[in-house]
Structure 1
């Protein structure tokens, strides 16, 4: 077997572990999910799991990164239908509203990780923070592209609104929270674009 095939098999197995862990952690939570439930039905042994991940916490970091990549790919597709940067900013809230209404009964995995591991594991908290930072950077780039006055401040305000809508949607399961936040974001943008 050549090196490329070995590398491909290793990446496939590693990705299979991440995908299964993503599904289990999302459904059961990080602390509640044991290693046995992560491997159930995969044909992957504990030995193989620990070949790719030194600890459950290292696997959790990989799962958060995987989740973040999935979210941003879905968001990129969703925003492609909106023409202007300002419309894309407001569409973030529509996307969130749809997530709460149809696809995401367990909330934001990065927030879940941040809450479960607050002050307990810096690397997991850090990986979660990278997810939130990436949302801020997206909003900031869109604010700059829209030529908002004081784009950093406006981006921070909209990011705070978005995070609040994520948490509100997660705790209440109400997609209207994102729409209420969108109304405030629209007012902020109107002021910043005059």
Structure 2
């Protein structure tokens, strides 16, 4: 099925915003890079911020689907928790890695009630909920606490990878995560 002009615009805008940032990317640049006229853009999105929100929703869906699919391939829940960092290593090594779009959006729109900031925070909340579910399945004594700790490691690894001052931030984070997981979850084959 051929994507609609709106879907095409959102996908192309995602690439541009991810690469160049939100405030630095003007509508004229979006027109030039997407090949979609301003008239068509404004037909679908009244304001640039509306387009940014659509981009963040798409990125959220794509990223969470990719991440949790990669984690599920690791097998049991306990292995899935550690596999999050293997997935991150793949992402970091990719040619288009430019840090976390949601961290960037929240930084560019720092007011905690601004819709773009709220959408960015929602992405992190949804990641937490899924990690907490997996931690519950793994038998963690405190699934929410483990999920929060793993997300802190994940965010730190992303920032470290973006800054580029460590050789293997995902591997370093995974080493710490494995210690946390071992302390929080019963060993495989035992009853919680």
Unaligned runs of 5+ in 1: 1-7
The worse-fitting range, judged by mean Cα deviation, of 171-180 and 107-116 is 171-180
Are residue 72 (structure 1) and residue 64 (structure 2) matched? yes
| 1:117 corresponds to | 109
How is 1:126-145 mapped onto 2 (pairs within 5 angstroms)? Answer: 126-145=118-137
CA distance in 1, matches of 2:40, 2:79: 46
Are residue 20 (structure 1) and residue 12 (structure 2) matched? yes
The superposition leaves residues 111-143 of structure 1 with CA deviations (integer Å, 9 ceiling, x where unpaired) of 111111112871000111111112111211110
Off by >3 Å, runs of 4+ in structure 1: none
Contact 1:53 1:59 in 2 (8 A): yes
CA gap 1:173/1:77 in 2 versus in 1, 3 angstroms: farther
Query: Which structure has the highest helix share of the two?
Result: 1
Q: What is the Cα deviation at residue 92 of structure 1? A: 0.5
SS of the residue aligned with 1:40? Answer: helix
Contact 2:128 2:148 in 1 (8 A): yes
Give the one of 123, 138, 160 matched to 1:146.
Answer: 138
The superposition leaves residues 154-174 of structure 1 with CA deviations (integer Å, 9 ceiling, x where unpaired) of 111111111111121122264
Q: What is the Cα deviation at residue 45 of structure 1? A: 2.1
Are residue 29 (structure 1) and residue 21 (structure 2) matched? yes
CA RMSD of aligned residues (A): 2.0
CA gap 1:169/1:102 in 2 versus in 1, 3 angstroms: same
| 2:49 corresponds to | 57
Q: What is the Cα deviation at residue 42 of structure 1? A: 4.2
CA distance in 2, matches of 1:120, 1:33: 22
CA distance in 2, matches of 1:95, 1:73: 12
Unaligned runs of 5+ in 2: 187-192
TM-score (norm 2): 0.88
